[in-house]
Amino acid sequence: MKNPYLPMLTKIEDIVIENEARDIKTFKLSFIKKEDKENFTFLPGQFAELSILGVGESPIGIASSPTEKDYLLFTVKRAGVVTTRLHRSEIGETIGIRGPLGNTYPLPDMDGKNVLIIGGGFAFTTLRSTVKYILEKKNREKYKNLTVIYGARTPGELIYKNELWEWEKLKELKTYITVDKANGDWQRHVGVVPAILKQVAPTADNTIALVCGPPIMIKYTLLALNELGFKPEQFFLSLEMRMKCGIGKCGRCNIGHKYVCKDGPVFSFAELQKLPPEY
């Protein structure tokens, strides 16, 4: 019997400080055992439990794409006990990982459709995985237009900056980067994500939208999507909840009868409308 509670061991290969506040870091991990690497197959949207033995575990979305074969990326905001300890880790340290856990963005159902990615702040991790996945040559032809709208409070709070500037140059996607408040020589969009979404006004026709961000952004983004003619079945959200086991046993991350760890973290808005608003 496979033990779902046993972490696989990885080594920290690289650490990137993502933001000006220096409380968001991206960890590049590689599996120590070859068989663990081979068994770890996932799709964008899934997460894993990162653990530091003696400290505990924390559920974190997988920020790398399955097409990035040799490593996994996890972007972690320093918030609680485990993430604070993670932030003190150095290259070469061992990190435990359990996963992949949860469901995925509905990538198979998005075949032949336009993809609209809407992200805010540090909640761009599994969306980055999705963009990277779609940009892979063999995947790109399956999807029509790819539009990315991503914003943060200030330019310094945007994550994956170098990659964003690369994406802006590509013809395979349209990238709209915005900040709530500009500073320095900021030349891109200024305004909250829902406002930019309305300006860009992507068509709802044959489009699937994936949304991830802070609650206030979500609230107004949903209104904007509604105005643009998106139906609740057409947009998907990735949710967060306090978790422990990650496999639907420990009983704490439920919204109604659904567990975010097992039935989620990705839900269509149509599904969420059927659940109590307790998240």
Partner 1 sequence: MKKELENYSILNKEDFNKFFNTLLGKYNIFGPSKSDKGDKLNKINSADDLMLDYKNFKMSAKEFFFPQCETLLAFDPSTGIVKNRSEDVDAKNDIIFGIRPCDALALSFFDRVFKDGAPQDPYYTEKRHRSTIISLACLEPEPTCFCNAVGCDVDSETGADIILTQLNSRYLIKSVTEKGIEILKHLKTLIPATEDDIKEKDELMAKAKSGLKSNVEVKALKKKLDDFDASFWQTVHQKCLGCGVCTYFCPTCHCFDMTDEVCNNTGRRIRTWDSCMFPLFTLHASGHNPRPSYKERMRQRILHKFNYAQENYNEIFCVGCGRCIINCPVNLDIRKVIQEILEAK
The annotation places the binding site for [2Fe-2S] cluster at 245, 250, 253, 261
Q: Are 190 and 181 in contact (CB under 8 A)?
A: yes
* Bridge partners, residue 207, by sequence: 114
Q: Is residue 169 a contact residue for partner 1 (CB under 8 A)?
A: no
Please state, in angstroms and rounded to a whole number, the distance separating the CA atoms of residues 275 and 120.
24
Nearest distance from C-beta of residue 110 to partner 1, angstroms: 26
Tell me: does residue 229 bind partner 1 (CB under 8 A). Answer: no
The residue (of 57 and 157) whose beta carbon lies closer to partner 1 is 57
Site string for partner 1, 86-125 (x = CB under 8 A): --------x-x-----------------------------
Segment interacting with partner 1, rule: CB under 8 A, options 112-120, 141-149, 167-175, 254-262: 254-262
3-state secondary structure of 120: strand
Output DSSP code: residue 161: H
Q: Are 67 and 139 in contact (CB under 8 A)?
A: yes
Distance CA 253, CA 246 (A): 9
Applying CB under 8 A, among 69, 169, 171, 257 the residue interacting with partner 1 is 257
Taking the mean position of all CA atoms in its chain, how far away is CA 173? Answer: 18
Would you call 245 exposed, middle or buried from its count of C-beta atoms within 10 A (0-12, 13-18, 19+)?
Answer: buried
Q: Is 1 in the site for partner 1 (CB under 8 A)?
A: yes
Cβ proximity to partner 1: between 190 and 247 the closer is: 247
Residue 112 backbone class (left: φ over 0; alpha: ψ -120 to 50; beta: rest): left
Interaction of residue 254 with partner 1, rule CB under 8 A: yes
For partner 1, the closer CB: 181 or 249: 249
Cis omega before residue 265 (within 30°)?
yes
Taking the least distance from each CB to partner 1, the nearer of 9 and 15 is 9
Q: Which stretch binds partner 1 (CB under 8 A): 130-138, 139-147, 168-176, 248-256?
A: 248-256
Q: Which stretch, 109-117, 146-154, 162-170, 236-244, contacts partner 1 (CB under 8 A)?
A: 236-244
The yes or no reply on residue 238 touching partner 1 (CB under 8 A) is no
Contact call for residue 242 and partner 1 (CB under 8 A): yes
State which residue, 53 or 201, has the beta carbon closest to partner 1. Answer: 53
Distance in angstroms (rounded) separating the CA atoms of residues 203 and 124: 22
Site for partner 1 contains 244 (CB under 8 A) = yes
Q: In b/e form, how buried is each residue of 113-150, taking b as 16+ CB within 10 angstroms?
A: bbbbbbbbbbbbbbbbbbbbbbbeeeeeeebeebbbbb
**Where do contacts with partner 1 occur on this chain (CB under 8 A)?**
1-7, 9, 51, 53-58, 79-80, 83, 94, 96, 240-242, 244-245, 247-257, 276-279
